[in-house]
Structure 1
Amino acid sequence: MVVLLTTLVVVLNIISAYSSSWEFDVPVLPGYPGPLPFKLQTGYVGVGDEDERQLFYYLIESEGDPVRDPLLFWFPGGPGVSGFYALVCEIGPLKFDYEAFDEDLPSLVANPYSWTKFASVLFIDAPAGAGFSYATSENGYAVSDTIAAEHNYMFLRKWLLSHPSFIRNRFYLAGDSYGGKTVALLASEIIKGNEAGLEPQIRFQGYMIGNPVVDEDKDHNEQTPFAHRMGLISDEYFEMAKSSCGGEYVNPDPNNVECKYALQLVKECIQHINPQHILEPKCREYPVIQRLDNSTFGSKEQRPINFLLLPKQERHFCRANGYVLSALWANNSTVREALHVREGTVGDWIEFNHSIPYEHNVASAFEHHRLLSKKGLHVLVYSGDHDLSIPYMSTLKWIHRLNISVDEQWRPWMVDGQVGGYTEKYMNKKVFLTFATIKGGGHTAPEYMPKECFAMADRWLSSYPL
């Protein structure tokens, strides 16, 4: 009888732990020499009707004044991208030492341009199936734009209730790429929840989105004009496409032979260009090799590639090569133990999980942004100006459709005496919107131009003009 009761208590404790918040302070990480110079916490929060989705997060407290500094809730795009990507490749306090890699566990170094210098940042692996997040059943992985927004709001409310000291902080949503949708939908949920009196009441100040997806068709439609503006296609080809396609380059009339021919010419001009950054190499598809521990990755999306085994002097630059270090690091057992990842819940960690059964049931987030523009929020929209995948021209188009008056005309903004990009400010009684380009930035801007993006975010969050 005693044994039975003891077993029952253990089972109930496990169920309780897995269905509620699960959090740990992480003072050290494999690959980083010595104690971490910032406060890192990892954990899980259950969402869904029965907490069947367990979402993993990384919280890094502000290295400045965590009591007074804002809290950012960051979404790295995707959907299906791990928040760890943003932590080490974009705005977090760590990055991998690519140059020093020598077939051992990748080493981590400090990022001098971490946004945690002036804000606490909450990174999330969402939805279930991204990063270390998981579901307790196969059906738990099925999700859509709208369901993901509901789960993200549930996560946020539960997380704040278990971290009451952050409820007083100014709160901002932030993200890039598909975050243009994710952030807009979650912002709408927060506004509705606050207006309905749901607890906790969130001190929602606004949001920032970079290289944002808002409406894929409209965003991608600007790729042809952008390619022409950047000198990738000739005046003749562009005028031919413009006149024959009537400005519709993504979904043209299938019976329009002239348009089809013009778009084929355009495609031939840009098919070998890296859409993430038009000046960087377009990586070839990599051959599969074994992990450094001689086992193999089960997922095709991200496998270590043979460049890691080449002598350093023979490694040709390709930005995607560095992403492999994330997979090598995150799939190391000592790393998972340090992060307090629940054993047996996730197989291979991959940066971008394409296999999640995700329904894109919100074709355009423009209407959400339009309604949010009436809620008195502060908004920052920024674009790397060398991004072909989501050109800054498409972002400016939907901003203009918001019909907000221009408060400050287009001008350069400076970092250390150099042009960091160009900015324009829009304002009415209900919204304060800043648009900024990041000169030389790609998709997404903080990865390519960290110093400039650091200065931009610091100034904007401090209500200081860019």
Structure 2
Amino acid sequence: MGRFQAASSLLVLFAIVVNNGLSVPMESRESWDYVEVRDGAHMFWWLYYADSHSAHYQDLPLVMWLQGGPGGSGSGFGNFEEIGPLKRDLEPRKASWVQAASVLFVDNPVGTGFSYTERPDGYATDVATVASDMLVLLKHFFREKDEFQNVPFYIFSESYGGKMAAAISLELTKAIAQGTVKCNFAGVALGDSWISPLDSVMTWGPYLYTTSLLDDYGLADVNTAAEAVKQAVEEQQFSKATELWSVAETVVEQNTNGVNFYNILTQEPDEKSALSAGKDPIALQAQRHIGRLHSRTLSELMNGPIRKKLGIIPQNVTWGGQAEEVFTNMAGDFMKPVVDIVDLLLNAGVNVTIYNGQLDLIVDTMGQEMWVKRLQWKGLPSFNQLRWTPLDDPASPGITGAFYKSYKNFAFYWILKAGHMIPSDQGPMALQMLKMITQQD
């Protein structure tokens, strides 16, 4: 296979819309490609052009979606489980973000989804490498798709994707200033993002206690485990901190009878605890946080019909086949905060949005608010003086779906009744938020 192979055309999607008893094929313009970002390291991207009845795609923003994990696939999970035009069953998604923006899914870091490395040393081990790789891809993308160079470009992210998005945004800002990347970067949105891991871990106990998911004994156990993580972070022992983070999650599971870290109103299956016994802490974390992004049905879709449709996936590459290696190679980076990068973005005038789900545990809102209050951004005192504004849930008029605050180039959205994957839990609310952030309402 050559270094770059692309496909771009007006395609008939797999879904069929039934309209007044007639089958009508949905059409959408798409494009995809591979970019070799380092020797033997290949990243896959998939673009959906905006499909709006009221505006041309060049009059709407371009949104790049970055999945978490690390090792979660935007082309798979983000696309078919959250914001793409089709759901996993290939039925149309009513609240697809393609209605309001062109959407670029990138399987990031190298080894994620359909991205792959030919060499064992090709994986990223920190966000600096992740950002460097993405800059290579974006430079290529905006050169090949020069019609997007003047279109407002936003980076939206989820979970560990937010940590990577912050680092990528800072490097992109520098590259634009230097003239090495031509694009109209308009802002970054950090969804349930692993920006300050320790703040998340330290608030697990209080959050679970106030929601009646821990008793006094359980609170003491979880807080003790969290303190061990804190000590390792303070001593700059980040690999040890990652292992202790795994221990803390196990303590949470044991004391809550298996609460789901991604939505506290649900419970993990009983077999997960059995699988945990005797596992290496990092392997256990891969099981907990990568496995859920690679369900059997999604894997069958991606490695079956989607792979066939794309037509450029190398024969020896399996969607998700290197995901656990992506995760484990980043283990030394997990517990490192990037709050300082958010400060740099804000002080550079970059538009930054935080959005978080009310029912998320792994990156609970309490923890997000803690690091936000420590920002050195000069506008923070004025932001803190604001009262939040309620937003109606588009799916339930008259019912509050979210609250938000916005001051100058910083905004925070509190999304109600949503867990870690906000677009999956509250699709119409997430779509409205997208429109507000990209100034379409």
TM-score by length of 1: 0.76
Deviation of the 1:341 alpha carbon: 3.0
Match of 1:44 in 2: 34
Deviation of the 1:459 alpha carbon: 2.0
Match of 1:353 in 2: 323
Q: Which residue identity is paired with 1:23?
A: A
Match of 1:87 in 2: 79
Match of 1:72 in 2: 63
The 1:229/1:199 distance shift into structure 2, 3 A limit, reads: same
- What is the rounded CA distance, in whole Å, between the counterparts of 1:412 and 1:180 in structure 2? 24
The 1:341/1:220 distance shift into structure 2, 3 A limit, reads: farther
Quick one: which of 410, 423, 426 aligns to 1:446?
423
Deviation of the 1:189 alpha carbon: 0.6
Do the aligned partners of 2:83 and 2:423 also contact (CA within 8 Å) in 1?
A: yes
Determine if the alignment matches structure 1 residue 414 to structure 2 residue 414. no
The 1:246/1:137 distance shift into structure 2, 3 A limit, reads: closer
Do the aligned partners of 1:414 and 1:420 also contact (CA within 8 Å) in 2?
A: yes
- What is the rounded CA distance, in whole Å, between the counterparts of 1:180 and 1:345 in structure 2? 30
- What is the rounded CA distance, in whole Å, between the counterparts of 1:264 and 1:148 in structure 2? 29
Q: How does 1:361-380 map to 2 (within 5 A)?
A: 361=333, 363-380=336-353
Structure 1 residues 410-419 or 386-395, which shifts more? 410-419
Match of 2:267 in 1: 281
Match of 1:259 in 2: none
Alignment root-mean-square deviation, CA: 3.0
- What is the rounded CA distance, in whole Å, between the counterparts of 1:228 and 1:273 in structure 2? 12
The 1:248/1:402 distance shift into structure 2, 3 A limit, reads: same
The 1:224/1:250 distance shift into structure 2, 3 A limit, reads: farther
Determine if the alignment matches structure 1 residue 222 to structure 2 residue 203. yes
The 1:127/1:239 distance shift into structure 2, 3 A limit, reads: closer
Do the aligned partners of 2:6 and 2:33 also contact (CA within 8 Å) in 1?
A: yes
Do the aligned partners of 1:177 and 1:212 also contact (CA within 8 Å) in 2?
A: yes
% same residue:
26
Cα deviation 1:196-221 (Å, max 9, x = unaligned): 23242x21111111111012222211
Which of 1 and 2 has greater Rg? Answer: 1
The 1:229/1:250 distance shift into structure 2, 3 A limit, reads: farther
Match of 2:280 in 1: none
SS at match of 1:331: helix
Aligned length, in residue pairs: 389
Match of 1:135 in 2: 117
- What is the rounded CA distance, in whole Å, between the counterparts of 1:241 and 1:138 in structure 2? 39
Deviation of the 1:456 alpha carbon: 1.5
Q: Which residue identity is paired with 2:62?
A: L
Cα deviation 1:383-423 (Å, max 9, x = unaligned): 11101111011111111111512263124221222110222
The 1:412/1:285 distance shift into structure 2, 3 A limit, reads: same
The 1:208/1:352 distance shift into structure 2, 3 A limit, reads: farther
Match of 1:20 in 2: 4
- What is the rounded CA distance, in whole Å, between the counterparts of 1:285 and 1:212 in structure 2? 28
The 1:139/1:396 distance shift into structure 2, 3 A limit, reads: same
- What is the rounded CA distance, in whole Å, between the counterparts of 1:110 and 1:263 in structure 2? 36
SS at match of 1:354: helix
Q: Which residue identity is paired with 1:434?
A: A
- What is the rounded CA distance, in whole Å, between the counterparts of 1:204 and 1:198 in structure 2? 13
Deviation of the 1:424 alpha carbon: 2.4
Deviation of the 1:143 alpha carbon: 4.1
Do the aligned partners of 2:353 and 2:411 also contact (CA within 8 Å) in 1?
A: yes
Quick one: which of 432, 436, 441 aligns to 1:459?
436
Match of 1:305 in 2: none
TM-score by length of 2: 0.80
Match of 1:316 in 2: none
Deviation of the 1:159 alpha carbon: 0.7
Show structure 2 runs of 5+ residues with no match: 18-23, 233-247, 273-285
Match of 2:230 in 1: 251
Do the aligned partners of 2:30 and 2:48 also contact (CA within 8 Å) in 1?
A: yes
Do the aligned partners of 2:390 and 2:404 also contact (CA within 8 Å) in 1?
A: yes
Q: Which residue identity is paired with 1:456?
A: M
Cα deviation 1:272-294 (Å, max 9, x = unaligned): 111110112312448xxxxxxxx
Q: How does 1:99-118 map to 2 (within 5 A)?
A: 108-118=90-100
Q: How does 1:303-342 map to 2 (within 5 A)?
A: 323-332=295-304, 334-342=305-313
Do the aligned partners of 1:77 and 1:176 also contact (CA within 8 Å) in 2?
A: yes
Q: How does 1:208-219 map to 2 (within 5 A)?
A: 208-219=189-200
Do the aligned partners of 1:245 and 1:252 also contact (CA within 8 Å) in 2?
A: no
Deviation of the 1:149 alpha carbon: 0.8
- What is the rounded CA distance, in whole Å, between the counterparts of 2:64 and 2:439 in structure 1? 17
Q: Which residue identity is paired with 2:36?
A: G
Match of 2:255 in 1: 269
The 1:249/1:391 distance shift into structure 2, 3 A limit, reads: farther
Structure 1 residues 454-463 or 378-387, which shifts more? 454-463
Cα deviation 1:286-331 (Å, max 9, x = unaligned): 8xxxxxxxxxxxxxx89xxxxxxxxxxxxxxxx9699322111112
Quick one: which of 142, 151, 157 aligns to 1:160?
142
Show structure 1 runs of 5+ residues with no match: 1-13, 98-107, 254-261, 287-300, 303-318
Structure 1 residues 441-450 or 335-344, which shifts more? 335-344
Deviation of the 1:265 alpha carbon: 8.4
Quick one: which of 411, 435, 440 aligns to 1:434?
411
SS at match of 1:233: coil
SS at match of 2:31: strand
Deviation of the 1:264 alpha carbon: 10
Determine if the alignment matches structure 1 residue 196 to structure 2 residue 178. yes
